[in-house]
Structures are given as C-alpha cells and as structure tokens.
Amino acid sequence: MAANEGTGFTTRALHTRPRVTDAHGALRMPVYDTAAFEFANSDEMQAAFEGRRVAHAYSRTSNPTTEDYELRVTALAEALGTVAVASGMAAITAVVMALAEAGANIVTTKALFGNSLSLGDVTLEPWGLEVRYVDMTRHEDIAAAIDERTRLVYLEVISNPQLQVADVAAITAIASERGVPVVLDGTATTPYLFNSAAAGVAVEVISATKYISGDATSIGGLIIDNGVFDWSRHPRLQTWFAKGGPYALLMALRRNVARNMGACLSPHNAYLQTLGLETLALRIDRSCANTLALAQHFDADPRVHRVNYPGLPSSPTHGAAVRQLKRGFGGILTIELADRAACFRVMDALTLIRRATNVNDNKTLAIHPASTIYAEFTAEQRVGIGVPDTMIRLSVGIEDLADLVADLDQALAHA
Ligand code: PLP
C-alpha cells in the first residue's frame, strides 16, 4: 500500500518520505557525512553528470540528507522544488545572480534586513547591477520603477526590523503584468504563516537559521521555486528553459549558480534543520502568541514611547497583516524609548532575555539594531531605513510568558 504522508502541515513535516528508502530502514534520514559518492561503472557516472540519471555525485551539488530536507520543505510549501544552501544570505545572493546580470536592475525597498541592503549597495552594485529602491506600500512607485531591464522585485513579507507588512498579492500582480518575478524573503513567516505561492510569489527565500533551525543550532538558507512563474518569459533563463521547462530556475541554481558559488549546506546542518521542521508549527504558534501578548502588555506601559508589532491596531500595516497572516503576526516586536542610552540601560538590565543578534530563536533575544546590524550606515541613512537610535528589537521565543513579562518589567524600570 502506498505510504500516507498526511495533509496537515505538521503531519507532512513528519511523514514526507525520502526519495530513496534507507538501506537499513532508519526511521530518520541519517547524516550522509561524505563529500563524494561512488558509481558502479563509467556509463552510470557519465549519465549522472549529464543529468540523465538522478544520483548524488558530490555533496557540493546534492546529498541524500540535504535532499530529504529539500523534499520536506517543498512538501510544506506545496512548491515545485527547493535548493538548500549554506545561509540565508547565500540563498538571496544565488537567486539574484541566477536572475540578474550586469547592466540589469532589481527593484526593492530600504525596509530590508541590513545585510540584504548591504548585498545590493556594497557587494553587487560594483558588479554593475542597479538596485532601485521604492516604498513597497506605494504601488504606483513599484510600477514606475520596473522597466525592460528589471529582472526581479525583492521584498520581505514582514520587514526586519521595521515590521512593515507588504500587500504581497498586489505587488506580485503589478510585477507579473510586466513579466517580472517577485522574490520574497519569507524568513519571518515560513510557509506556515504565509503561503507565498497563493500570493503569486515566484521564489521564496528563507534564512533557515531562524524559525526552522529553532534553537540557533545552525546557519542555513532555502530557495523555494513556487512553480507559479513562467520562466520562458525571463531573459536570463532562456537556455535553462529550453533544457528544463518549468524547472529552469532550479536547474540554473543546482547546475550553475549555487554549485559554482560553492556555499552548500553541510549535511549535518540539513539534519538539524529537518529536526526543526518537525516542530516548526508548534514553536511558531507559541512564539506568535507570546509576542502578541507582550506587545499588548507593553503598549499600555507609559515607560515605553512606542510598541511596533503588526498584530497591534496601531501598526501602520495592521490591515495588510490581518488580511494575510491568518495564523499569527510573527515573533518580532520593537519598542522605542527616549534615546540610545535608555535602550542600553534597559538591555543591560535584562536577566533572562539574552542580548544576541539572531531572530525567531526558541529563546527571547534583544538587540539595539542601530548600534549593531545597522552600524555601517550613517545616522541619517538609519532614520531613512526606519532604524532609529531609540529602538530595541525583541525576538520573542517560546518561554513561559510570565517570565518574559517579569524580566522586561524590571528592566524597564531603568528606562
Ligand atoms: N533575511 C532576513 C529577514 C534575516 O533576518 C536574515 C538574518 O538575520 C537573513 C535574511 C540572512 O540569513 P543568514 O544569517 O542565515 O544568512
């Protein structure tokens, strides 16, 4: 009888089967910690290298443990396919390199994770890629920025740390009409909180370091092709489309860009992140519930000048959040205090919540973004990006809520 992989999110996370059953019947896919794989004869070896036979040859390109992880992510996202790489930044870099080239442009926003902004401005612009910035809430500006040399539109579902929620379906409609794919960073949501395929997103990239890995076990990134974009329309993928049709992007990544960049996911990290997938929904539910409760609690606290969380009616993009995020508003909130010194005093007074730079960890973490992640930007640029000196970012974990409230409450006495 055929194996039943279930229909619910967590059931699929647990029961999606590997392509090849383990030789020993291991209940969990083992870690294939090997660089290379052996072939029975030269014909089979040639067929594997030419892509005529599905087989692993070298772990920089594919590996059984990583493949099992990719298949489960694909099942959870109800997508066409997934390529797992070494980090979230490697995922973003690989997609941009696969879809764009010198002399072309990409359309994005300043409301982005700091290193993603830096990738465009500092790393890729010197290679001749033009990066155009728009306000993603101003749809007419997005339409005006796209021209015949635009290769992709890039944004985050819930931007980090501005916590701006974009109207994703409206943006994909604008881009698709002009033949341009939308690449969405879904780190803050994962396919559990937001179904990017249903919103017309061509490619979702995720830093698996965050919610998926769970407790900061490992760095990793995912590139998910949702299978909703017709790659025959994309100038950069013509050759790959002729070879692979709808698989054009996945082939370009696996057999060219991701392979040649060399930022492959280690099989051990694939194993850790697969473990994370199995409890993803449970942990996200708890982190979202804690975050909403903390946001509501401290919204009423006069020591806090402002609480920003998409789940609060006071958030400028609360409407877009309610329409699109049916299971929760994510695990990040920010608070604003009088000045940088007040932020430092409150952060230094925390005794349970950790001072660390990750997000969507099982543990609650605090950071002052302006003096850390955004330190390479000028004070003026930071205000433009929406990262003022007065802001503390809290990434809320899965602890017991009362302990988090107590720690923040005593720390705020130092505000
Ligand atoms: N995208 C977002 C929204 C992030 O918050 C991060 C990391 O903080 C990244 C991408 C980069 O991910 P990684 O650290 O796995 O390279």
- How far does the centroid of ligand 1 lie from the alpha carbon of residue 88, in Å? 5
Mean pLDDT of 125-136: 96
> Which residues lie with the beta carbon below 6 Å from any ligand 1 atom?
87-89, 113, 115-116, 156, 160, 185, 187, 207, 209, 219, 221, 359
Atom 4 of ligand 1: nearest residue by CA position: 113
CATH 3.40.640.10 boundaries in the chain: 9-277
Q: What is the pLDDT of residues 35-84, one digit of tens each?
A: 999 999 999 999 999 989 999 999 999 999 999 999 999 999 999 999 99
User: In whole angstroms, what is the distance from residue 415 CA to residue 337 CA?
Assistant: 7
- How far does the centroid of ligand 1 lie from the alpha carbon of residue 358, in Å? 8
One CATH from 3.40.640.10, 3.40.50.2000, 3.40.50.150, 1.20.1530.20 for 9-277: 3.40.640.10
Atom 11 of ligand 1: nearest residue by CA position: 88
- How far does the centroid of ligand 1 lie from the alpha carbon of residue 273, in Å? 15
Q: What is the pLDDT of residues 171-228, one digit of tens each?
A: 999 999 999 999 999 999 999 999 999 999 999 999 999 999 998 899 999 999 999 9
Query: Per-residue pLDDT for 1 more than 70?
Result: no
CATH class of residue range 280-412: alpha beta
Which of 158, 209, 373, 394 maximizes ligand 1 atoms within 8 Å of its Cβ, making it the mutation to test the pocket?
209
Atom 13 of ligand 1: nearest residue by CA position: 88
CATH 3.90.1150.10 boundaries in the chain: 280-412
Q: What is the pLDDT of residues 262-312, one digit of tens each?
A: 999 999 999 999 999 999 999 999 999 999 999 999 999 999 999 999 999
- How far does the centroid of ligand 1 lie from the alpha carbon of residue 185, in Å? 9
Parallel/antiparallel/unpaired status of strands 81-85 and 182-185:
unpaired
pTM of this structure: 0.96
Categorize the per-residue pLDDT at 354 as very low, low, confident or very high, splitting at 50, 70 and 90: very high
